[in-house]
Amino acid sequence: MPSMMLRWVQVAGVALALACAGSVQAAGDAQRGKQIGYTCLGCHGIDDYKNVYPTYSVPKLVGQHPEYIVAALKGYRSKQRSHGTMYAQASSLSDQDMEDVAAYLSGAVLAPGAPTQGTAPTKVTELCSACHGKDGIGITGDYPTLAGQHADYLTRALIEYQKGDRKNAIMGPFASQLSNADIAAIASYYGAQRPELKTVLRRSWL
């Protein structure tokens, strides 16, 4: 079996096993999350808000799987992800706080079904679609939805996986295989997919 096909089968196997087992469902209280997560809106509640250094767009969260938001927050708290501000925020939250904040920030989770936009790059087919789908909708709550996410944020995330600033047993090895051109193509493709993730509206908190 060619190495690329074998790799895809391995990834698909992991994805299928998780799907069959059922992902751990977030059990958050969105109303409580709305109250304790107001500080999140200082960055995530402003359209096209930028992280200062390095400069890239703060990710959109409306439509994201709440389970994945919780996993990301835990990653920042445990320093499996490197970001000073996010570490400080996540360190102040209990596990239940994270569930509640995630339930609020995610809102209505995006559903698959829309036609894909454009032609998927080769690396999307070989490495990404088994978990993130060709439409950018994560196949379980454990996998982030990428559809409509800021392309520069997706680029930054892949670079962080390459550098080890984000530690993940699956994403690290996959990202290490990508060239700069591959990363740009993947980010541009997923950023163009619909339905799209959106920014939390700050006025929704008021």
- Residue 24 lies inside a defined structural domain of this protein: no
Confidence band of 201 (pLDDT split at 50, 70, 90): confident
Residue 152's domain is classified under what CATH number?
1.10.760.10
Across the range 174-202, mean pLDDT stands at 96
- Residue 3 lies inside a defined structural domain of this protein: no
CA 48 to chain centre: 17
Identify which of 30, 18, 56, 48 has the alpha carbon closest to the alpha carbon of residue 142. Answer: 18
Full DSSP string of 60-122: P-BTS-HHHHHHHHHHHHTTSB--HHHHHHHHT--HHHHHHHHHHHH-SPP-S-SPPPSPPPH
Buried-state track 89-122, b at ≥16 Cβ within 10 A, e below 16: bbeebeeebbbbbbbbbbbebbeeeeebbeebbe
DSSP letter at 124 equals: I
Confidence band of 204 (pLDDT split at 50, 70, 90): low
- Residue 21 lies inside a defined structural domain of this protein: no
Give the model's pLDDT for residue 27: 80
- Residue 13 lies inside a defined structural domain of this protein: no
Give the model's pLDDT for residue 21: 38
- pLDDT at 26 exceeding the cut of 70: no
Q: Residue 198's beta-bridge partner residues?
A: 62
Q: For 34-89, how does the pLDDT look when each residue is reduced to its tens digit (9 = 90+)?
A: 999 999 999 999 999 999 989 999 999 999 999 999 999 999 999 999 999 999 99
Give the model's pLDDT for residue 54: 93
- Residue 20 lies inside a defined structural domain of this protein: no
Output phi, psi for 104, to 5 deg. -75, -50
Give the CA angle between residues 114, 116, 118 to the nearest 5°. Answer: 150
Quote the domain boundaries for residue 45.
29-198
- pLDDT at 4 exceeding the cut of 50: no
Total domain count, the chain:
1
What's the predicted TM-score (pTM) here?
Answer: 0.86
- Residue 100 lies inside a defined structural domain of this protein: yes
Q: Residue 57's beta-bridge partner residues?
A: 50
- Residue 126 lies inside a defined structural domain of this protein: yes
- Residue 22 lies inside a defined structural domain of this protein: no
Across the range 146-162, mean pLDDT stands at 98
